[in-house]
Amino acid sequence: MRKILLILVVISNLNYSYSQSLEDKIALKACECLKKNKEITEDIYRNCLTTVMTEVVFADKDPKVRETINTVDGIQNLLKKSNEAMIKNCPELFSKKPESKSDIFYADSKIKKAQNSYIIGKDLMQNQKYDLAIEALKIALKEDPKFVLAYDDIAVCYRQLNDYDNAIKYYKKSLEIFPEGDYALMNIGVVYTLKKDYKTAIEYYEKLIKYQPANAEGYFGAGKNYMEINNNEKALQNILTAHRIYTESKSEYTEHTNIIIGAIYQKMKADNKEDAFKKIAAENNIKIE
């Protein structure tokens, strides 16, 4: 009987003695940056925080400090803690939440006719009448050509009809209006995977990672597609990151990442790359038992 090796992934707890003072340094300088702006938008907030974080980290003489941003996970952790420190150090700047692009672009249309047609289209989608839904959603777009939700849902309908080319076409139209749209980036990646165009799928998942580094779906999608092109090292790096995020959010998807990690281990072991597997796991502060 063939034996199946089960991989148990354990998230190691990290505790950096210097992290609090580092976060406060970043927070204080980032607050100064924000105070120079009349209005704090999402872009201004993100730019101040990330720019200052890089400056502070690279100005510190302690080599351990730089190690905090050697991994995507380390960057995420430091960003999160620095954000919390900012709220503590300059609460007056947070009386109004920074403008969210997602709230703007993933909103109902302000044009009544467009919104009414959209509602009809959504009802038809729920009843799996995708052809009719597409027609209703296209009417919504005639009334409101910048209606991102309508583009995304037309793409969903085409995907349900297995018309992948048109699904891609409408996800791209959505991304022309809102390049950071996580819904379109995630799902266009799925469609390219279904078309077995794994490299293009990876490009879109990596854009999702760029815009939303705390979203596990980008890493999960990229990792699965890297496996398809036999780049197991990058597959492992991405899946381990997804696993950590899923674990921290107590997501049931940790079961999926555990299985994929086991599959990657088997592939790398067969290629005599077991040491590389362990090294990548260790770099991601993950213990394999």
Task: Write the pLDDT tens digit of every residue in 221-259.
Answer: 999 999 999 999 999 999 999 998 888 888 888 999 999
The set of residues, in sequence order, having a beta carbon less than 8 Å from that of 263 and lying 6+ positions away, is: 227
Beta carbons within 8 Å of 238's beta carbon, 6+ residues apart: 219, 220, 222, 223, 226
Kindly report the CATH number assigned to the domain that includes residue 135: 1.25.40.10
Name, in order, each residue with C-beta under 8 angstroms of 97's C-beta and a sequence gap of 6 or more.
Answer: none
Whole-number percent of the chain with pLDDT over 70: 85
**Cα distance between residue 31 and residue 24, in whole Å:** 10
Q: How far apart are CA 268 and CA 159, in angstroms?
A: 34
**Residue 215 shares a structural domain with residue 287:** yes
Residue 12 pLDDT grade (very low, low, confident, very high; cuts 50, 70, 90): very low
What is the C-alpha to C-alpha distance for residues 54 and 75, in angstroms, rounded to an integer? 10
The predicted structure's pLDDT at residue 18 = 37
What's the pLDDT score for residue 283?
82
Identify whether residues 156 and 179 lie together within a single domain.
Answer: yes
Task: Write the DSSP symbol of residue 96.
Answer: S
- Sign of the CA dihedral with 113 first, then 115, 121, and 123 last: negative
Q: Can you tell me the distance from the alpha carbon of 165 to that of 186, in angstroms, rounded to the nearest whole number?
A: 16
Q: State which of 175, 195, 215 marks the end of a domain.
A: 195
106 and 66 in a common domain: no
Residue 5 within any structural domain of the chain: no
Residues 6+ apart with CB under 8 A from 115: 108, 109, 140
Kindly state the average pLDDT of the residues 61-81: 69
Whether residue 91 is found in the same domain as residue 30: yes
What is the distance between the terminal CA atoms of the chain, rounded to a whole angstrom? 23
Number of alpha helices (DSSP H) and beta strands (DSSP E) in the chain: 15, 2
* Mean pLDDT of the chain, nearest integer: 85
Highest mean pLDDT among 187-196, 210-219, 243-252: 187-196
Asked if residue 12 is part of any domain, the answer here is: no
Predicted confidence (pLDDT) at residue 35 exceeds the cutoff of 80: yes
Average pLDDT over residues 138-161: 97
On whether residue 213 sits in a domain, the answer given is yes
In a domain, 10, yes or no: no
Comparing 8 with 217, the larger pLDDT belongs to 217
**What's the maximum distance between 2 C-alpha atoms anywhere in the chain?**
69
User: Looking at per-residue confidence, does 54 or 159 come out higher?
Assistant: 159
Question: How many domains is the chain built from?
Answer: 3
Task: Please name every residue paired with 41 in a beta bridge, in sequence order, or none if there are none.
Answer: 99
Residues 144 and 229 in one domain: no
Which of 151, 173, 195 terminates a domain? The answer is 195
Q: Please count the other Cβ atoms lying within 10 Å of the Cβ belonging to residue 87.
A: 12
Among 39-43, 66-70, 108-112, 243-247, the range scoring the smallest mean pLDDT is: 66-70
Average pLDDT of 172-201?
A: 97
What percentage of residues in the chain have a pLDDT greater than 90? Answer: 53
pTM above 0.85, yes or no: no
Q: Would the pLDDT of 69 be above 50?
A: yes
Query: What residue numbers bound the domain in which 38 lies?
Result: 17-99
Last residue of a domain, one of 195, 228, 246: 195
